[in-house]
């Protein structure tokens, strides 16, 4: 494993030891990931992939970045098996490669639209990071996404806004999962196809599996999903849309791990 770098003291002077450990390890992995993604673009096998698909070597075209994201997954699979990189490094590399791909496609859509399949895949990559670095503050993932998307030479303020929205959504999904576990409720993660329909979890009851769509704010429930009178949940499009009821202060150092007191209070 890479030697952890020293986390920035102005941000993490009061952070807990587990946060400092994850931040230090992530810094090293993120630096390695950016270099790896740049190096992949000079790889002969990547040039062969582009040629076989009649994709020009043109980094302003979305299909170029899709090919690179696919090449990254193959690169990581091979190198993990060879022991050249570990699983933690692989998930950071894949997120870095996918960030440019995601935003290259997103830039072709209206600001209120998304490629749902790519969004679901992108969410999954952020979840992979969260599983490997549960005490990592979300600002560090947002920073990596912005840096990676910058490889397109596209400076768009919407990237930061959208990246923050995506990562915040994953943070609250994972936090809600911890609430379900604390409450002793049985649940299943949704499949990729179900995620495309907006379902995050199925809570298992005696009579049925209840589809749940977790939101990071009350606003998302009341203004976009049929909620009213500031109620934290609403039945909309065949699923229960629910606010996680978690605030920034409930997450340890704004990471993916909920404070034990917050779990017991909910």
Spell out the domain ranges in the chain.
9-155, 175-265
Calpha distance 204→187 (Å, rounded) = 5
Phi, psi of 188 (to 5 degrees): -125, 145
Per-residue pLDDT reduced to its tens digit, 209-255 = 999 999 999 888 887 666 666 788 888 888 999 999 999 999 999 99
Calpha distance 42→105 (Å, rounded) = 22
pTM exceeding 0.75: yes
CA angle 186, 191, 194 (to 5 degrees): 100
Lowest-confidence pick of 162-166, 180-184, 253-257: 162-166
Calpha distance 32→55 (Å, rounded) = 27
Lowest-confidence pick of 54-63, 74-83, 103-112, 171-180: 103-112
**Are the C-beta atoms of 128 and 103 separated by less than 8 Å?**
no
């Amino acid at each position: 494993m890479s030697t952890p770098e020293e986390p920035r003291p102005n941000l993490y002077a009061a952070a807990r030891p587990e946060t400092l450990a994850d931040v230090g390890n992530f810094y090293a992995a993120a630096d390695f990931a950016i270099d790896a993604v740049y190096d992949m673009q000079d790889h002969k096998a990547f040039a062969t992939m582009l040629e076989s698909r009649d994709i020009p070597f043109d980094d302003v075209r979305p299909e170029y970045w899709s090919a690179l994201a696919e090449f990254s997954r193959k690169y990581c699979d091979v190198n993990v098996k060879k022991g050249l990189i570990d699983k933690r490094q692989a998930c950071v590399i894949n997120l870095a490669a996918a960030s440019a791909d995601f935003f290259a496609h997103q830039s072709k859509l209206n600001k209120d639209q998304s490629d749902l399949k790519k969004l679901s895949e992108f969410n999954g990559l952020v979840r992979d990071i969260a599983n490997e670095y549960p005490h990592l503050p979300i600002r560090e993932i947002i920073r990596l996404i912005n840096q990676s998307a910058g490889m397109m030479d596209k400076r768009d303020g919407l990237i930061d806004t959208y990246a923050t929205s995506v990562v915040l959504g994953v943070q609250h999904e994972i936090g809600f999962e911890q609430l379900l576990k604390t409450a002793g409720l049985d649940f299943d993660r949704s499949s990729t196809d179900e995620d495309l329909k907006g379902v995050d979890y199925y809570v298992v009851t005696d009579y049925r599996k209840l589809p749940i769509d977790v939101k990071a704010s009350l606003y998302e429930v009341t203004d976009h999903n049929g909620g009213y009178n500031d109620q934290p949940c609403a039945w909309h499009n065949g699923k229960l849309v629910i606010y996680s009821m978690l605030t920034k202060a409930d997450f340890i150092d704004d990471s993916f791990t909920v404070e034990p007191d917050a779990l017991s209070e909910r």
